[in-house]
Copies of this chain bind each other. A is one copy, B any other.
């Protein structure tokens, strides 16, 4: 039997912190004279009481550390609880969503997906839009911490390969965890401030700059406008490209950069592959668009760069109607979304590292067909990749594609058209943001989806964000018996 108390204790503390974060939108609405501040006060009080009571009732239970099972439970249940409590202000105040919509919006926020239930973003109280950006930002920070501290120990999807970069044994988690987390928070704050300052310098209002910075460095994708980034066409798109890329690079490299070591970032194989693949995708689309239309080169380059990086990094801002781009650019974007960013970033999806390993693994399997005794001599960034990592990566990919397929079928069952079901499954499992099809509102909002489809997407976003295996493990009866 797994002792649930340490898990409940940490979740209680997280909910208290989430309630504390609601002070920011409350103060903003208060100072703007918007009566919607009361929603954040009420929601914050509920978080404080519920989270505080849980944490107090389980006080001192964390002294023995966490077992592997408890880490799995903690990871999944923290997100579930935060999605529920984070939804409160959106039900209690503007835009007055119902529970399904609000939990969808909060889950889309905390998983950094960025698909929205709301049409009329430009008219929302400032606090509500700030809260949406903050959900992204907090979710992005949370996932980087999980990716750097927990996943390597959980050995999810081959992440044990990055174990030595964080720390070595379970016993050392807590001391190193504090060091790494505080370094991460510092870098994340600096990136966000730099992004907001750049946006403001290039012409966004102070408020728009802050909210878009929150949802850029977290590769989230919520906007304060129904037009998404279509409201900010021009140099601002290039600024977004820079910070979306930053959000999808490995944060461990930023920590090293911060300490004056620029070589690890420069030499990182997944960073190089990621930037190269982004460039290829942009180039392919520019060549295609220049060939099939007589657009101005610079406009095409800007549009392609922004939208490719937006989907590849998993941010999901749009600055144009992507469905008008024709099938080839659409296919490129679809694929880039199924690749995603680098490990230990806020980026989502399968991730560049796993594709690099996957290609090697498949090559090895093929080679074994005609050289039955070929040994695994696979190296990555100078280190040997064990069979356990290989198998974990292939299993991750298999589960990802199976889940993607099942989500698409379930969404079809819920009544969505083929294209809508496939792209909505894609946006959920890979935490990208946009979906395409007749049921999607012209602004990109998914509020017209049937309720069942919304719940299927909520599940899909959580499964995708938590690297699948972390979720599936706790669904196995055996997990609870060990």
Residues of chain A touching chain B, judged by Cβ–Cβ distance below 8 Å, are: 68-69, 72, 154-156, 327-328, 330-332, 334-335, 338, 358, 361-363, 365-372, 391-392, 394-395, 397-399, 401-402, 405, 408-409, 412-413, 415-419, 421-422, 469, 472-473, 476, 478-479, 482
- Complex partner residue of A363 from B372, B402, B418, B476, CB under 8 angstroms: B476
Q: Which 10 A-B pairs have the closest CB atoms?
A: A331-B412, A327-B412, A365-B395, A331-B409, A328-B413, A401-B401, A394-B394, A369-B473, A328-B412, A366-B473
- B369–A156 touching, CB < 8 Å: yes
Structural contact, B370 and A72, CB atoms closer than 8 A:
yes
Closest to A363 in B: B476
Residues in B neighbouring A156, C-beta threshold 8 A: 369
**CB neighbours of A398 from chain B (8 A):** 358, 361-362, 394, 397-398, 401
A370 contacts B335, C-beta separation under 8 Å:
no
Copies of this protein, total: 2
* Min distance, Cβ A352 to any Cβ of chain B, angstroms: 15
Given A394-B398, A422-B422: A417 touches B369 (CB 8 Å cut-off): no
Shortest C-beta distance, A400 to chain B (Å), equals: 9
| Contact, CB under 8 Å: A370 / B479 | yes
A361 to B363, CA, bound (A): 20
Bound together, the chains give a CA A150 to CA B358 distance in angstroms of 27
- Say yes or no: A366-B476 contact (C-beta < 8 A), given A398-B394, A415-B328: yes
Contact indicator B405/A338 (Cβ below 8 Å): yes
Separation of A113 and B27 alpha carbons in the complex (Å): 65
**A409→B338 CA distance, assembly (Å):** 12
Q: How far is the CB of A68 from the nearest CB of chain B, in Å?
A: 6
State in angstroms the CA–CA spacing of A69 and B367 once bound together: 11
Q: With contacts A72-B369, A331-B421, A362-B398 known, what are 17 further pairs, Cβ within 8 A?
A: A68-B370, A72-B370, A154-B369, A155-B369, A155-B372, A327-B416, A328-B415, A358-B398, A361-B398, A362-B395, A362-B399, A362-B402, A363-B476, A367-B478, A369-B469, A371-B478, A419-B419
Which B residues lie within 8 Å of A365 (CB)?
Answer: 391-392, 395, 469
Query: Which of B155, B405, B417 has a CB less than 8 Å from the CB of A327?
Result: B417
Q: Which residue of B lies closest to A364 (CB)?
A: B395
> Most B CB atoms within 10 A — which of A328, A397, A416?
A328
Residue among A366, A402, A408, A469 with most chain B CB within 10 A: A366
A418 B327 Cβ-Cβ under 8 A: yes
The distance in angstroms between the C-alpha atoms of A270 and B335, with both chains bound, is: 33
Output the least CB separation between A335 and chain B (Å).
6
Chain B residues in 8 Å Cβ range of A369: 68, 72, 154-156, 469, 473
Max chain B C-beta neighbours (<10 A), residue from A154, A371, A412, A416: A412
